[in-house]
Amino acid sequence: MKPFFNVQTVEQVRAYAQAVQRLASEEVDLGRALGRSLAALLKAPHDLPGFDRATMDGYAVRGRDTFGASETEPGYLRLIGEVLMGQTPPFQVGPGQCARIGTGGMLPDGADAVVMVEHTRNLDDGSVEIAKSVAPGTHVLGAADDAAAGQVLLPEGHCLRPQDLGLLAGLGLSRVAVVRRPRVGIISTGDEVVPVESQPGPGQVRDMNTHTLSAQILQAGGAPRAMGLVKDDEAALSEMVARSLKENDLTLLSGGSSVGMRDFTAQVFMSFPGAEMLVHGVAVAPGKPFIWVQSGEAHLIGLPGQVASCMVAFNILVEPIMESMLGRQALAFTRFARLQARLMRNLPSAQGREDYIRVRVGSNGDGVWQAEPVFGKSGLIRTLTQGHGLVRIPLEKEGLDQDSQVEVLLFPRS
């Protein structure tokens, strides 16, 4: 253990987070793959759609046969048959010929374009009047337009969205290898904290952090496991952390609100084999008393006990660790949805510290979003329940001016 530790920046913590190893993979059904991370890059096993398809109802033609056709000077093609859906047409379209086709139908050999039915007239003599010229490829999906066999379609670590599942289905991949969910143990501490089901006695409060963190872990793609509440007692804490360390990839310890507790959280973390302290204190508000110790493949995190600090510290400092475990190569806009807004108050801030201010977003109906800071101590959960997101004041700034344009990092589902 290094004897002395300097407070680090959020950027330094994120650099450590990026070095965290990805977890192993597992196979899941397509119906359970939403939001999971691809364990390997996705290559197309075959062309998609696999054959040339019409995208309109009309007539399959050879494009060159329609050149010059117009409303005033239509062309005429011989109708040789109809394409049945889901079948290979048993004929070929030769020069001067055409075939009736519906949207999604397979283009017959020889044809390379479709004339929309609106621009045609079916004549009694077995021919079709064509009132529009179409270039080859018009109203046709090429056999490899969606994907060509062997083409890389999605990168490793990609978070699967509805359309990605549609693509996998189109390729016949009904099971998919994804990164397993990080198991995240949650420990709440404090002599004054009781479980939600209990009636608090005088001077006691119910545990809020376990519930907020569980839901945050779910949203971040992890599997939360409430390990339990522990009193301000070093032996009890040590035992519970040891159990969590064995069972989970990541352990979050929130609280230690008493003086003694804070002092021995780091000691307990460092007592495990191969423990290495990566971070002890971050230049960020809220979130300063953040502790990160690595022991083997597992990670132990100390979070502030104050409810608002705990939640924001998770957003800013823990989620990047989980993203690395999930192998995500997220673009910066993926973790927080962003909203441009006008700041409705001056926000002072200390230089040399990143500040995250909780704000409520509203509007006068004029299309301009307004960000109103929710002031209140970080022990108050209402600063979060009344808020829609966070405004960041960078390290080097001394605050933000009223009426300036700010970017709100929205809480998920706000």
Region near its own copies per CB under 8 A, out of 17-25, 65-73, 210-218, 349-357: 210-218
Region near its own copies per CB under 8 A, out of 62-70, 184-192, 293-301, 345-353: 184-192
Under the criterion CB under 8 A, does residue 97 sit at the interface with its own copies? no
Site for its own copies in 158-177 (CB under 8 A): 159, 161-174
Under the criterion CB under 8 A, does residue 106 sit at the interface with its own copies? yes
117 vs 285 by CB, closer to its own copies: 117
Q: How far is the CB of 269 from its own copies (least distance, A)?
A: 20
Under the criterion CB under 8 A, does residue 207 sit at the interface with its own copies? yes
Per CB under 8 A, the list member of 15, 19, 41, 85 interacting with its own copies is 85
Q: How far is the CB of 278 from its own copies (least distance, A)?
A: 25
Site for its own copies in 234-273 (CB under 8 A): 257-259
Under the criterion CB under 8 A, does residue 338 sit at the interface with its own copies? yes
Under the criterion CB under 8 A, does residue 30 sit at the interface with its own copies? yes
Site for its own copies in 120-149 (CB under 8 A): 141, 145-147
265 is written with which tokens?
A: 């959280």
* Pairwise CA distance, residues 101 & 108, whole Å: 9
Q: How far is the CB of 57 from its own copies (least distance, A)?
A: 5
Q: Omega into 49 within 30° of 0, i.e. cis?
A: yes
* Pairwise CA distance, residues 407 & 337, whole Å: 10
Per CB under 8 A, the list member of 86, 126, 273, 274 interacting with its own copies is 86
Name the residue with tokens 């004054």.
192
Q: How far is the CB of 162 from its own copies (least distance, A)?
A: 4
Per CB under 8 A, the list member of 306, 320, 349, 359 interacting with its own copies is 306
Per CB under 8 A, the list member of 222, 305, 320, 373 interacting with its own copies is 305
Amino acid letter, residue 308: A
Under the criterion CB under 8 A, does residue 364 sit at the interface with its own copies? no
Amino acid letter, residue 162: P
Strands 250-254 and 183-189, by their bridges, are: parallel
Determine the distance from the C-alpha atom of residue 317 to the mean position of all C-alpha atoms in its chain, rounded to a whole number. Answer: 17
Q: How far is the CB of 215 from its own copies (least distance, A)?
A: 4
Q: How far is the CB of 37 from its own copies (least distance, A)?
A: 11
Q: How many residues bind its own copies (CB under 8 A)?
A: 106
95 vs 135 by CB, closer to its own copies: 135
Site for its own copies in 373-412 (CB under 8 A): 376-382, 384-385, 387-388, 410-412
Region near its own copies per CB under 8 A, out of 154-162, 237-245, 275-283, 342-350: 154-162
Under the criterion CB under 8 A, does residue 214 sit at the interface with its own copies? yes
Three-state SS sequence of the chain:
CCCCCCCECHHHHHHHHHCCCCCCEEEEEHHHCCCCEECCCEECCCCECCCCEECCCEEEECHHHHCCCCCCCCEEEEEEEECCCCCCCCCECCCCEEEEECCCCECCECCCEEEEHHHEEECCCCEEEECCCCCCCCCEECCCCCECCCCEEECCCCECCHHHHHHHHHCCCCEEEEECCCEEEEEEECCCEECCCCCCCCCCEECCHHHHHHHHHHHCCCEEEEEEEECCCHHHHHHHHHHHHHHCCEEEEECCCCHHHHHHHHHHHHCCCCCEEEEECECEECCCCCEEEEECCEEEEEECCCHHHHHHHHHHHHHHHHHHHCCCCCCCCCCCEEEEEEECCCEECCCCCEEEEEEEEEECCCCCEEEEECCCCCCCCHHHHCCCEEEEECCCCCEECCCCEEEEEECCCC
Under the criterion CB under 8 A, does residue 41 sit at the interface with its own copies? no
Under the criterion CB under 8 A, does residue 102 sit at the interface with its own copies? yes
* Among 306, 303, 299, CA closest to 321: 299
104 vs 281 by CB, closer to its own copies: 104
Under the criterion CB under 8 A, does residue 191 sit at the interface with its own copies? yes
Name the residue with tokens 């519930």.
211
Under the criterion CB under 8 A, does residue 90 sit at the interface with its own copies? no
Per CB under 8 A, the list member of 40, 143, 270, 339 interacting with its own copies is 339
Region near its own copies per CB under 8 A, out of 82-90, 91-99, 119-127, 280-288: 82-90
Q: How far is the CB of 1 from its own copies (least distance, A)?
A: 24
Per CB under 8 A, the list member of 6, 18, 122, 334 interacting with its own copies is 334
Name the residue with tokens 């998919």.
176
75 vs 255 by CB, closer to its own copies: 255
